[in-house]
Structure 1
Amino acid sequence: MLLLPMFVFFLYAFAKIFAALVLIQKMEIASYYAARRWQLESHRNYAYVGHDEGVLAIDIKKRVADYLGYGTPIGKFLDLDGGAPVLTIERTQVWQVVYLRVRTKPVAVSWMYKSKGFDFEITKYVPNRDRPIAFELPGMK
Structure 2
Amino acid sequence: MYEYLFYRTYRWQKRLWGESSAPEMAGLFAPSMLAVMNILYPIWLVTNMILVCFFRVYLVEEVTTLFKIMAIFVCGYFYFSFVSAAKYSKIEKKYIKESVEIRKNNNRKIGLYLFFSLLFFVFCMVMTALLGDYARNYLY
Bin for the TM-score computed over the shorter chain: 0.3 to 0.5
Larger radius of gyration: 1
TM-score of the two chains, using structure 2 as the length reference: 0.37
TM-score of the two chains, using structure 1 as the length reference: 0.37
The answer to which structure, 1 or 2, has the higher relative contact order (CA under 8 A, 6+ apart) is 2
Q: Give the strand-richer structure, 1 or 2.
A: 1
Q: Give the helix-richer structure, 1 or 2.
A: 2
